[in-house]
Amino acid sequence: MAAGEVETAGSAEQFQQLLQHKDGSLVVVHFWAPWAPQCAQMNEVMAALAKEHMQVTFVKLEAEAVPEVSEKHGISSVPTFLFFKNSQQVDRLDGAHAPELSKKVQRHAASSSTSAGTDSAREDLNARLKKLINAAPCMLFMKGSPKEPRCGFSKQMVEILNKHGVSFSSFDIFSDEEVRQGLKTYSNWPTYPQLYVAGELIGGLDIVKELEASGELDAVCPKAQNLEDRLKNLINKAPVMLFMKGSKQMARCGFSRQIIEIMNNTGVDYETFDILEDEEVRQGLKTYSNWPTYPQLYVKGELVGGLDIVKELKESGELLPVLKGEN
């Protein structure tokens, strides 16, 4: 295929072949779905970027058509973009953010070429790291997630923070090699996990253990708002609440898209919460309601169910009375 055009990966084999660029050049893969209008828009954005960045390989991969690749790379919604160099993932972008996609392509393409580009990329990376460090009052950069730590030190850190009721957000450094390496230099701290409070580095596991032993940890770290209270407030935010991937305007998975179509046809007012924007709510609500998947529909604070239940209620003619609280 000619330079400046977007390639298509229709199988896991094609995907692997397209990643194997020996020169270390950038490969950008768009995991998309034909039913999502935002994916069509981002395909147009990608086609324009392909003409601008001839040295970059742009690839479209239909997420649901090649599930083994999507599952391997943790694709749970569309659009999602993965960035590769030498067959290794170096970055990721979830959602239809054209300016951010353009910025990331520019940065990674530049870091493959000129030294001037490298300086510019370093400045961009530092701005990104600063934003991540300040993303929450207390930020933990770790291997894995609080639910599934992927090293012993990260596991111990999470256990200590949870034991003290600390409210923290986390970033999985395995998901982004650029952040993983860049943060070591930015903070002059060579190992993980790393804990930040109000944008300032507190330290790693040993420091946190010392703070715990001296009784200072509770003073340093912000206390958690009770998650259960937070979930109750969210569930009762509106008479009809839908927890989904994406929003009314932009569903980011097929199940969420289907339930939105059903809800819109009822004419009943409802509000939505995007679980992709808040990992704590996403995981916590599964336990709170004992319902393992999304979307989840609530009426007057009570769980109705997911897509299958809503479809059954629609077919039996019971959906409208349920939504109006008549049942």
Task: Read off the pLDDT band of 115 (50, 70, 90).
Answer: very low
Give the residue from 60, 81, 110 where a domain finishes.
110
| Burial class of 303 by CB neighbour count within 10 A (0 to 12, 13 to 18, 19+) | middle
Q: What is the rounded CA–CA span in Å between residue 291 and residue 305? A: 8
Least trusted range by pLDDT, from 44-53, 119-128, 172-181, 252-261: 119-128
Could you say which of 161, 187, 220 is where a domain stops?
220
Q: CATH code at 141?
A: 3.40.30.10
Which run of H or E residues covers position 92?
Answer: strand 88-94
In 3D space, the residue among 234, 247, 161, 245 whose CA is nearest the CA of residue 204 turns out to be 161
Residue 1 falls inside a structural domain: no
- Domain range for residue 183? 117-220
Residues 253 and 211 in one domain: no
**What pLDDT score does 117 carry?**
45
Q: What is the pLDDT of residue 198?
A: 87
**Structural domain ending residue among the three candidates 202, 220, 238:** 220
The answer to whether 150 and 174 are in contact (CB under 8 A) is yes
Tell me whether strands 6-8 and 26-32 are parallel, antiparallel or unpaired. Answer: unpaired
Residues 133 and 167 in one domain: yes
- Is 72 among the domain residues? yes
**Model confidence over 238-293: pLDDT tens digits?**
999 999 998 998 898 999 999 999 999 999 999 999 998 888 889 889 989 999 99
Residue 149, preceding bond cis, omega within 30 degrees?
A: no
pLDDT over threshold 60, residue 207 = yes
Tell whether 187 is covered by a domain. Answer: yes
Q: How many alpha carbons lie under 13 Å from residue 138 in its C-beta half-sphere?
A: 20
Q: 130 with 154, same domain? A: yes
Total number of domains constituting the chain: 3
Tell me if residue 255 falls in helix, strand or coil: helix
Does the residue 189 lie in any domain? yes
Give the contacts of 87 (CB within 8 A, at least 6 positions apart): 16, 19, 20
Report the alpha-carbon distance of residue 194 to residue 186 in Å, rounded.
12
User: In which residue are the tokens 């990376």 written?
Assistant: 125
The answer to the question of residue 274 being in a domain is yes
Task: Record the pTM.
Answer: 0.48
For residues 177 and 195, membership in a common domain is answered with yes
Closest-CA residue to 91 (of 101, 77, 76):
101
Amino acid identity for residue 288 in this structure: Y
Do 106 and 123 lie in a common domain?
A: no
Residues 263 and 317 in one domain: yes
Helix runs in the chain, H state only: 12-19, 37-52, 67-72, 98-111, 115-133, 152-163, 177-187, 205-214, 217-220, 227-235, 254-266, 279-289, 307-316, 319-323
236, 182: one domain: no
Does 272 share its domain with 192?
no
